[in-house]
Amino acid sequence: MGWHNRIVRAVLAMSVTLGAGGAASAAGEGVDIAGLRLGMSIDEIGAALAEHDPELVIHPPSQMALKYRVVNHTRSTEAFPRMVFAARPDMSESFYVYFTAPPDGGKAVLIYCLHKNFNPPIQRETYRQALIGKYGEPDATRSDATGGMAARAVDFQWLIGEGKVQCLPLSHGGHAVEGPFASVGQGTVESSLLPRIMDVAAGTMKVGGAASPADCAAVLSYGLQQDPVFAATGVLVDVAAAAKDEMDMSAWIEELVRQGEEEVRGSTAAPKL
């Protein structure tokens, strides 16, 4: 509960600026990966996956529950859907879609796609041109700067949301970068995102041009491995919505703790002496 309490105290007031309009702005841009869009419900994601490829096996949503302490007892929320996984039987294409948690849960906040073992092979330049044809010229690129086999990996990134800024940080790791590139992946929302984009204790953003998480652009990132392409990885994440989700979860847990403590204070239990 310590981490959740710090988040609530530092940024709960900031959540006022992250109302439905701000958090949903990226979802309204219409950008998709294989027909999957940010802000979609679990049912909508399932329908889009089935339309994209009827051979995809769509697994039931994985469930998550949050634990919290009330006095000296551990309690747990009811389980809620957090992620949907789908894949072709041969695993040549797979998807992970992460959803917001209660109290305003069930909306896609990160979409991850892995496509590999292309048959026939696809040249990297052909794939790059297809990406540009769908999404436009990328805002940033990253390539390996050390040479060797890894030099064949190239990443392209787009920022989504007019007037929004890149809030996520970059881990360089020997890469040559052009433009506002950020480190993005499937785990972007699996671990806490807020400390990556803001000073939690101070309640201030780490990047210039952003007064709150609502100013953060959504990010679309595609990585192409080798040439011809052995594997292509696509990630679409709504940074503002993910930040709001963390703050809302923290406030939700804080309220559950408060209610639990009121129950304890009202207890009439007596010891057996």
Half-sphere exposure of 228 (CA within 13 A, CB side): 8
Domain membership flag for residue 81: yes
Q: Which residue has the tokens 């439905």?
A: 20
Say whether pLDDT at 20 is over 80: no
Over the Cα atoms of the chain, what is R_g? 21
Q: Between 15 and 216, where is the model more confident?
A: 216
pLDDT, tens digit, 9 for 90 and up, residues 139-152: 999 887 666 654 57
Mean pLDDT comparison of 63-67, 72-76, 234-238, 267-271, highest-scoring range: 234-238
Domain that residue 260 falls in = 2-265
42 belongs to a structural domain: yes
Residue with tokens 């639990």: 260
User: Is the pLDDT higher at 129 or at 267?
Assistant: 129
In tens, the pLDDT along 51-91 reads 999 999 999 999 999 898 988 889 888 899 999 999 999 99
Is residue 26 a part of any domain in this protein? yes
pLDDT of residue 146: 64
Total H helices, total E strands in the chain: 6, 16
21 lies in a domain?
yes
In the predicted model, is pLDDT for residue 235 greater than 70? yes
- Of 201 and 20, the structure prediction assigns the larger pLDDT to 201
Q: pLDDT at residue 125 above 50?
A: yes
Q: Tell me the residue type at 269.
A: A
Most confident listed range (5-9, 113-117, 190-194, 198-202): 113-117
Query: Which residue, 171, 180, 246, 172, is CA-closest to 219?
Result: 180
184-203 mean pLDDT: 85
Q: 37 pLDDT exceeds 90? A: yes
User: If you average pLDDT over residues 172-191, what whole number do you get?
Assistant: 82
For range 189-198, the mean pLDDT:
86
The angle subtended at Cα 197 by Cα 196 and Cα 199, nearest 5°, is 90
Residue 209 lies in a domain: yes
The residue with tokens 């392209």 is: 156
Q: Please report whether residue 273 resides in a domain.
A: no
The average pLDDT across 173-182 equals 81
User: Rounded mean pLDDT of 126-146?
Assistant: 90
Question: Is pLDDT above 90 for 5?
Answer: no
- Dihedral angle over CA of 187, 192, 198, 200, nearest 10: -170
- The total domain count for the chain is 1
How far apart, in whole angstroms, are the C-alpha atoms of residue 249 and residue 104?
9
pLDDT at 172: 67
Residue 96 has pLDDT above 90, yes or no: yes
Burial class (CB in 10 A: 0-12, 13-18, 19+), 262: exposed
In a domain, 271, yes or no: no
In a domain, 95, yes or no: yes
